Amino acid sequence: MNHARPRQQSRLRPPPLPEPRGALSAAVTALLRGSDPGSMPSPARSAPYGDDLQLALYVLYELHYQGFEGVSEDLEWDSRPLACRRALEERFLGALRRDVPVDAADTARRALDELQVEPVDGSGSVSHFLRDHGTLGHLREYAALRSLYHLKEADPHAWVIPRLHGRAKAAMVAVEFDEFGAGRADEIHAQLFADLMADLGLDTGYGHYVDAAPAEVLTTVNLMSLFGLHRALRGALVGHFAAVEVTSSPASRRLAEALRRVGAGPAAVRFYTEHVEADAVHEQVVRHDVVGGLLEAEPSLETDVVFGIRATTRLEETLAARLLDTWHAGGTMLR
């Protein structure tokens, strides 16, 4: 039986290229449009977490997802965008390695345990703010910003599957099976998020809000693609996945409460209630079988797993701090 809904067809239509935010992203979009960008600007002159570099990297990564309207699919493996992507990745990854040092004595278990310690007053937490003080406008903004990932939820993590073995592979596939709807197109988590967006009156088009998303959002999405596209970073991707699953259930419960409080519809609430139960189970599977299985087979990857967990945490905390500061000041992060 075909469970597809009309909204899912938006994934079949690539989005337009976003507007450049500087010399790097302008050169990348020119290249993809078939123009001669001339010499590519040096990434060393751009802030590694800034709008220009992060948008340029996002655009290049999207060649491996949905691509862009009017951009040849052959460019996915063209040497020119790949060379540009490598230079941008080196700048981004170099900054992350500098800012997220990992001690040889650090363990994945300790790093995951740290994620479960939350401030008593909920300070610094977007989900606490939205549950207690958020308006419908705040929740709509949050959904628009998060749509850059949630409309392709679990896709970046699927790249690690052929790079895992035995227990870790089996457990990763089991969790991803749930993320992709357990065989039902209308239960795919990306579709559930599209339903949430429609319930909130937002555009459900894939990549629709990229021009509105600031660098702090782009970094969180690019991190997944960076880890996912490199076999050498498979341990970091597993760490990222574990960090997401460990923190998802309690945050999802608060977000579901926030949506009920502002009178959002059932489809909006359902996306998060689905994650409360599913991710509580996933957390244990990821901890014991995905991370545990990987480190049992490849113990040398422990520092990479820790790096993935802590890099994820750092970028999420940076995004949360700016978002909360903006909201407390009565503003919006949407560009």
- Going from the first residue of the chain to its last (335 residues), give the mean pLDDT of each consecutive group of 10, the final group possibly shorter: 44 90 96 86 94 98 97 96 97 98 93 83 88 97 98 97 97 95 94 97 97 98 98 98 92 96 96 84 90 97 98 97 97 95
Asked if 129 and 19 sit in the same domain, the reply is no
Asked if 135 and 267 sit in the same domain, the reply is yes
Residue 333 lies in a domain: no
Residue 334 lies in a domain: no
- Decide: helix, strand or coil at residue 330: coil
Asked if 119 and 91 sit in the same domain, the reply is no
Residue 93 lies in a domain: yes
Rounded distance between C-alpha atoms, residue 4 and residue 9, angstroms: 8
pLDDT for residue 11: 67
Among 99, 116, 132, where does a domain finish? Answer: 99
pLDDT for residue 281: 79
How many domains does the chain fold into?
2
Unique residue bearing structure tokens 């088009």: 205
- Helix and strand numbers, DSSP H then E, in the chain: 14, 0
End-to-end CA distance of the chain, in Å? 41
Contacts 24+ apart (CB under 8 A), 293-301: 293/164, 293/166, 293/167, 293/168, 293/169, 293/170, 293/171, 294/164, 294/168, 294/234, 294/235, 294/238, 295/108, 296/167, 296/168, 297/165, 297/166, 297/167, 297/168, 298/235, 301/234, 301/235, 301/238
Asked if 256 and 292 sit in the same domain, the reply is yes
pLDDT for residue 195: 97
Among 99, 116, 151, where does a domain finish? Answer: 99
CATH code of residue 209 = 1.20.910.10
Asked if 12 and 154 sit in the same domain, the reply is no
Asked if 82 and 208 sit in the same domain, the reply is no
pLDDT for residue 2: 36
Asked if 64 and 209 sit in the same domain, the reply is no
pLDDT for residue 16: 96
Asked if 202 and 276 sit in the same domain, the reply is yes
Rounded to whole angstroms, what are the CA distances from 68 to 20, 89, 148, 233?
A: 14, 21, 14, 26
Among 78, 99, 120, where does a domain finish? Answer: 99
Domain that holds residue 302: 108-328
